Structure 1
């Protein structure tokens, strides 16, 4: 015997299941408008946070890139014009160090401005090594002015230089000057005039530099030595090693990190010395970023992206209750429940600015679950059904929180969750058919 849905002559088109489904679907689409407005507010708050970060960096110093020291010598070329006049052209010979060793301790701090915070750092660097004997150079120039040589240390942002800089060359202390005499390789930093005795070019030039540099977010180095060794230590427990080279050795714990890089001249794309601007030293940087795990704005925005899922599943539960349990739920009541679910993301963002994301999530979800549960009891007049709504919301918000904590497996976990949710919805939908098919033709 064929089973058919029973309809009565008094049933109007607006009382059908199809119309109810379409109406709830349109309501969900309408709720996308306030949800998108909440997302816009979150993005605005995040942009304000980034603006504050930029302002602090402008005052304290931004990400720092250290290059050097580098030895520079002026060289000259002579050409004769048609009138027999000699024209003298000056260029700079740039010599990279033979050995370059850097030891650094990075001390991180969190700087606050109102409710916003930025990670800054102070670093104590000790740079030592040597330049190989200059008599090994093969220079394609008419003249080398040994007396006008200088040694530079390029720094991205000079505002980060704190206190006195000890700049020793061959155990002799020199006073560095601000700026670079030659800007072929970098545009900012410090330099030391170092005249070279032509009779001593067979000797190595040793250097030892001690400097305190502050900055924000990241510190990087150009491995310009024939052999470069960099060792960094910090109490920051969430480092992100960036650049062209990962550390040769690294150790990360709750007490901080220690990382070591060992790079040779064979790992880069420029020679030990050249004239002019033939090569760039900025192609193979390495360093560390003081990584901040996904901040509360990013987590709030990610959670809002799942908002439509929570709204759909919750309203579907109300729809099934209405159809299966023969309860009457008005369109306005669907709308109020949906708005309460949208409000969760706004409350979450506001509270996270003061409580941190985890506690804000707990407070916001508990408030919305309690409100929707009490409202459900008032509408349905059924304690058991209201508890089912509460259980659903607890599961949804718990699943969303777990999903936000995942990084690599978030996509997989989300799809598994959607599969399980769809399976339950399909199972629940069979109740609608059996309920409306209680009478047979």
Structure 2
């Protein structure tokens, strides 16, 4: 046995030694894997999801600015007048009724005062609204002064209607009541004429009568009651004979103007110099004309369509949610629109990143994942820029400026990274088109889902076609 038969390490001389890994080759292998298109595609997905964090912070900023705008609008309305709702007039008659209750296990009877509310046979409300925008700091609110003429008639059969109500009516204490949502908006000496007689002023408040705040659906579920309104004694003779009435009001308000269907047959007309009305409530207008200088509209609601009897036993005015309303819509409530653009952010990020990815794989120069992050942050800053500009210029101008600035920044950056002016120009076209399509989606709610589905399909189809020959693993490039 020779010295070469065995070695101190235990290996025979005829057996080749185990191959040793070259440490210098490890970083290159890792770089090859990380730079493969498949891994890069997954990293882009993670970056897109990670960008939702700053996007949510921007969403919070939009909500905070929107709340601030509402607070300022409330301050403007407080000094001028809030949304106005007129309900009435009604004839309120106190009724003495015997009621029992259990006290210490005994049934005790006592006489209590309840109320019967009689509705006019006909009611006509004609309103002319002079509107303007009031500004406080950078915020505005549409306000109006309404010249309101209210006419109608209570039928002679009110005594017969009162027989439907349990108890003994006290006709001598009968009064006419009308609810006004924000009584501080009255800008004239409000009064009424009965049967064409002299003007008789109203007294403030509705005494024992109240009304439900608009939006309260069920009186027994946390009702919000309002006692703002006016009243005028009418007495026994007028209740027995019936009477016609006329009321003229000068009323300041903001945001919206509405009336309840207080008449058995109710006619309502409204006109204003505001070109952006929104018609809301239980009934929409039968006739309407909208132009650049304003609008006009008319309603006629018959007794049967109203669905309420002409006399009710209650101390709360009925029909608080049976309204005909005109909303002074602002041309663009940009806080809501900016919030809606954020809902499409993840899809928008994906479209832009896919475009950059396709440009990268067609280019000899690669885009680092940090550069993808910077591109995504530029997309997030778009929303902040849009919000800040919209508060000063309006939504349309702000959207154009923010989208052009963002598209120019990202396309110039990616074109510089890839060393190709042509590819930067292509990306600028993609970004501009994407922003234009998103604007159309925002303006047309009805087609938003359809447009989004088509855009998603076209985007994934274009990505699949452009990457059909890509070596996603990078094995072929490594072998070469």
**1:138 shift after superposition:** 4.6
Select the residue among 61, 70, 78 that pairs with 1:50. 70
**1:352 shift after superposition:** 0.9
**1:99 shift after superposition:** 1.3
**1:354 shift after superposition:** 0.7
Which protein is bigger by CA-based radius of gyration?
A: 2
Relative distance call for 1:386 and 1:70 in structure 2 (3 A) is same
Verify: 1:188 aligned to 2:228, yes or no.
yes
SS at match of 2:383: helix
Q: Which moved more, 1:357-366 or 1:303-312?
A: 303-312
2:119 maps to 96
CA distance, structure 2, for counterparts of residue 94 and residue 301 of structure 1: 46
2:218 maps to none
Verify: 1:110 aligned to 2:128, yes or no.
no
**Cα contact 1:184–1:276 (8 A) shared by 2:** no
Q: Which moved more, 1:285-294 or 1:402-411?
A: 285-294
TM-score (normalised: structure 2): 0.81
**1:93 shift after superposition:** 2.8
Map 1:27-426 → 2, pairs under 5 A: 27-77=47-97, 88-133=111-156, 134-139=158-163, 143-170=168-195, 171-183=197-209, 185=211, 187-197=227-237, 203-277=241-315, 280-426=318-464
CA distance, structure 2, for counterparts of residue 201 and residue 360 of structure 1: 61
Q: Which moved more, 1:124-133 or 1:50-59?
A: 50-59
Relative distance call for 1:336 and 1:155 in structure 2 (3 A) is same
Relative distance call for 1:431 and 1:173 in structure 2 (3 A) is same
Relative distance call for 1:338 and 1:77 in structure 2 (3 A) is closer
**1:176 shift after superposition:** 0.8
**Cα contact 2:145–2:252 (8 A) shared by 1:** yes
CA distance, structure 2, for counterparts of residue 388 and residue 382 of structure 1: 10
After superposition, give the CA deviation of every residue in 1:246-271 in whole Å (9 maximum; x if it has no partner): 22222222232222111122122332
CA distance, structure 2, for counterparts of residue 412 and residue 121 of structure 1: 39
**1:95 shift after superposition:** 1.5
**Cα contact 1:218–1:289 (8 A) shared by 2:** yes
Aligned residues: 429
**Cα contact 2:280–2:326 (8 A) shared by 1:** yes
Indicate the RMSD between aligned Cα atoms, in angstroms: 3.0
SS at match of 2:374: helix
Relative distance call for 1:234 and 1:440 in structure 2 (3 A) is same
SS at match of 2:425: helix
CA distance, structure 1, for counterparts of residue 258 and residue 394 of structure 2: 30
CA distance, structure 1, for counterparts of residue 390 and residue 294 of structure 2: 26
CA distance, structure 2, for counterparts of residue 153 and residue 321 of structure 1: 70
SS at match of 2:199: strand
Unaligned segments of structure 2, at least 5 residues: 1-24, 101-107, 212-225
**1:143 shift after superposition:** 4.5
**Cα contact 1:224–1:265 (8 A) shared by 2:** no
